[in-house]
Amino acid sequence: MQKYDIAAYIWPAYTGTEYRTLPFWPEGIGEWQSVKNSKRKTDSYFWNRKPLWGYQDEADPKVMEMQIEEAVKHGVNVFIYDWYWYDHRPFLEQCLNDGFLKASNRDKMKFYIMWANHTANYTWDIRLSDRARTQKEWKLWDGAVSRADFDCVVERIITQYFSQPNYYKIDGKPVFMIYDVDNLIRGLGGMEKTREALEYFRAETVRAGFPGLELQLTGWGERIANASGVDSEHALSTREIVPALGFDSVTNYQFAHLTKMNRDYASEILPVVAAEWKRMDKDYTVPYYPHVSIGWDNNPRFMEYSDYICTGNEPDKFEIALRMAKEYVDTHLNLRVPLITVNSWNEWTETSYLLPDDLYGYGYLEAIKRVFVDEQ
């Protein structure tokens, strides 16, 4: 059995089965449209990567059966699904519900949910994304929810996902991550009401037969930033939020939330990441599970060129970060599970993905295999 839990985030937009994505990607293949149609922007810059496995529909269980096999073989044994709730109903559930959960080999892979409750603007529509990046009023769906909607989310998550036999748990408690806690607080009406709502979530989880709920926070560092083009403005720090709302653990989603990404990966970004891990040790009493990102370049989502691009993040440099995370887990006895989160399985349009392409082949997956499978 593998000693470490390597959990890769999944952006569930690589399917055409969600009808509400058609205004963004009218070709009916989800965000593969942006990947496939990426254009040259300058004489020296051309993002033109191609997936070795093709433009697969990840809501197809046969596709996910193959992906699960490759993931597990290379040491990725947990998927963290980005999960959305917009306009009083779920959004982009098909990859999880119809793909992963209907795969015949799903028992080989654990999964859990990260509620990606950021406000959606027009970043996904390349015809409008450049303006959406700079004009804050260009909002499509508000990520904040009322208490009535929150209670609907709780019921759906517990009955539809926590009940799955391969849902990832810590000490028997289902893990549920919240991405944009500021939006959560804003929608529920303040810190006190948010804590009440989260306590309700805990109580309902116990009532469903579990020993409790592992609430995990997506940490953004204390210097709050917005590099992705889709995230809401952040005002509160994790240092304030964790104890006030009773979160049980913290991890990250992207290095872009912690530091400037338009510089060298190994020599400039990783030292900042290492310092952030030390700060988390000092400032928090709850476990911090280390996070590793592959890189950053979201030019495929925009018509205009952005020079905000991570450099020097080849697979061998990514392996350095993985070894940092492995050492962190090995030396922190307060971690209840050997969990390391990775961005990501398939964030093609942010250029932070493990899936094989025509540039590095299986390089990033092989890096995980060397560190967490071959050396055991």
Per-residue pLDDT, averaged over 311-326, amounts to 98
- pTM for this prediction: 0.96
Check whether 227 has a pLDDT greater than 60.
no
334: Cβ–Cβ under 8 A, 6 or more apart, which residues? 287
Per-residue pLDDT, averaged over 16-25, amounts to 95
C-alpha pair distances (Å), 184 with each of 147, 175, 191, 258, 345 = 10, 17, 9, 21, 26
Q: Which of 11, 109, 102 is nearest to 60 (CA)?
A: 102
Give the torsion through C-alpha atoms of 335, 257, 362, 375, to 10 deg.
Answer: -20
Q: Which of 135-139, 314-318, 328-332 has the lowest mean pLDDT?
A: 135-139
Check whether 225 has a pLDDT greater than 90.
no
Average pLDDT over the chain, rounded to an integer: 94
Q: Which of 35-44, 87-96, 207-216, 292-301 has the lowest mean pLDDT?
A: 35-44
Check whether 236 has a pLDDT greater than 80.
no
How far apart are alpha carbons 300 and 266 in whole angstroms?
Answer: 24
How far apart are alpha carbons 110 and 165 in whole angstroms?
Answer: 9
**Got the DSSP string for 106-146?**
GGG-EEEEEE--PPEEGGG-TTTHHHHHH-TT-EEE-----
Domains and CATH numbers, the chain: 5-374 (3.20.20.80)
| Tens-place pLDDT, residues 49-77 | 999 999 999 999 999 999 999 999 999 99
What percent of the chain has a predicted confidence (pLDDT) above 90? 88
Per-residue pLDDT, averaged over 323-347, amounts to 97
Q: 3-state SS of the chain: helix, strand, coil percent to 5?
A: 40, 15, 45
How far apart are alpha carbons 197 and 218 in whole angstroms?
Answer: 18
Residue 91, helix vs strand vs coil = strand
Q: Do 124 and 301 form a contact (C-beta atoms < 8 A)?
A: yes
| Tens-place pLDDT, residues 91-137 | 999 999 999 999 999 999 999 999 999 999 899 999 999 888 777 66
Confidence of residue 228 (pLDDT cuts 50, 70, 90): very low
Determine the distance from the C-alpha atom of residue 44 to the mean position of all C-alpha atoms in its chain, rounded to a whole number: 30
